[in-house]
Amino acid sequence: MSEVNYWKIPLDKLPSRGTKYSKDTKIEFRCLTIRDLKYMAAMTESNAREIVDDILRRCLRLTDLRFEDILEIDRLTLIFYLRSNTFMLSNSYQTEFKCPYCEAKVVKTLKPGDLAVRKMEDSVSGSVTIDGGCKVVHSALKKITDPVYKTGDPDVDLILAFTDIDKKIKSENLKDFILNLPADEFSKLLHLAERAKCGILGYADLKCSKCFSDLRVGIDLADSALFNRIHMSTMIRNRVQVSKYCGVDLDDDMPYNEVEMTISVVNELAEKEAESLNQKKNNPGVRR
Ligand SMILES: [Zn+2]
């Protein structure tokens, strides 16, 4: 592979502000390549987390920080850096919803910066006792390789994401254990997790473009929805078109931001060519 460009991510842009990493920590990233996107084409709901983490591992260059020690609350922000720099021409999220006030159908283009974020410094740590006073559960910041629980119950998921209960309680079914706690213990636990919660939140505060009401809109942050998925057929069509117009082959190691630019230039050239052909056809000139 030829020389690859890496860009530095300012640590103070992360929800943790980098305060849990060493003072010499540096996080840099490169853009996704065609090869990365081909790998991602195999993504399904069940392997999405694994594939996104593999991509993140490939694209990050870390100094004085192990990948395993990246905090979970910083993960989405790192992904958004990759995403917005890889898809320069198509990096925005489209979100569509119905305004509850005027019932207009609103289509908004979201930038990563539009998503609500709670910084780590605004979260509150603490502990509670459960199990009749037998077990102390602390608020916790998870690491990127810690288990991620999707139990189908948002309260249980929140408790598992921001406390160390999974390390304190040895239970086959943590969801059932949590849901079967006495009501006061459950609410103490939930309160602990709510206060500890930080990172990118799953909503954006927007305005309706018709009646200008303030709206809070939920955004899908599932791993399978985080990156633009480029179909294999599109990639092949791009390759053929670029080769036809530029006489060059798109290399699998080419950063996708360059691919996007190349394709947009090629499309422009193709359009101009079609236009001039059309003009010739409609106006063949005067024969003498
Ligand atoms: Zn409205």
Q: Is the pLDDT of residue 181 over 80?
A: yes
Which long-range contacts does 245-254 make (Cβ < 8 Å, 24+ apart)?
A: 245/269, 245/270, 250/34, 251/34, 252/33, 252/34, 252/35, 252/38, 253/1, 253/2, 253/33, 253/34, 253/35, 254/33, 254/34
Average pLDDT over every residue of 268-281: 85
Distance 254 CA to ligand 1 centre (A): 43
The pLDDT value recorded for residue 105 is 92
**Higher pLDDT, residue 32 or 284:** 32
Distance 210 CA to ligand 1 centre (A): 5
| Whether the predicted pLDDT of 180 surpasses 90 | yes
Gap from CA of 98 to ligand 1 centroid (Å) = 8
CA of 218 to the centre of ligand 1 (A): 16
The residue-averaged pLDDT of 237-265 equals: 83
* Ligand 1 centroid distance, CA of 111 (Å): 21
Q: What is the pLDDT of residue 287?
A: 54
Rounded to whole angstroms, what are the CA distances from 112 to 84, 93, 212?
A: 8, 8, 21
Confidence of residue 221 (pLDDT cuts 50, 70, 90): confident
Distance between CA 242 and CA 249 in Å, rounded? 7
Provide the 3-class DSSP secondary structure of residue 8: strand
Give the integer Cα–Cα distance in Å for 168 and 86. 41
Q: Across residues 75-83, what is the average pLDDT? A: 90
Q: What is the pLDDT of residue 285?
A: 62
Cα(207) to ligand 1 centroid in Å equals 8
Share the mean pLDDT of the chain: 88
CA–chain centroid gap for 110, Å, is: 13
pLDDT (0 to 100) of residue 284: 66
Give the distance (Å) from ligand 1 centre to CA of residue 114. 19
What's residue 250's pLDDT?
A: 81
Question: How far away, in angstroms, is 92 Cα from ligand 1 center?
Answer: 22
Instruction: Band the pLDDT of 91: cuts 50, 70, 90.
Output: low
Q: pLDDT at position 251, please? A: 85
21-43 per-position pLDDT tens digit: 999 999 999 999 989 988 988 88
Pick from 25, 121, 9, 30: nearest CA to 73:
121
CA distances from 50 to 61, 84, 147, 148 (A): 18, 20, 11, 11
Distance (Å) from CA 104 to ligand 1 centroid:
6
Closest-CA residue to 156 (of 124, 181, 127, 120): 181
pLDDT score, position 271: 86
Measured in angstroms, how far is the CA atom of residue 96 from the centroid of ligand 1? 13
Cα 105 to ligand 1 centroid, rounded to whole Å: 8
| Cα 223 → chain centroid | 7
What percent of the chain has pLDDT above 70? 96
Strands 93-98 vs 105-110: parallel, antiparallel or unpaired? antiparallel
CA of 145 to the centre of ligand 1 (A): 41
- pLDDT of 103 reads 93
Question: Got the DSSP string for 21-52?
Answer: S-TT-EEEE---BHHHHHHHTT--TTTHHHHH
| Helix axes 256-282 and 72-86, enclosed angle (nearest 10) | 30
| pLDDT tens figures, 96-155 | 888 999 999 988 877 767 889 999 999 999 999 987 778 899 999 999 999 999 899 999
**What is the average pLDDT across 92-97?**
76
pTM: 0.84
Ligand 1 centroid–CA 106 distance in Å is 8
Q: How far is the CA of 205 from the centre of ligand 1 (A)?
A: 13
List the single range of 2-6, 16-20, 90-94, 160-164 with lowest mean pLDDT: 90-94
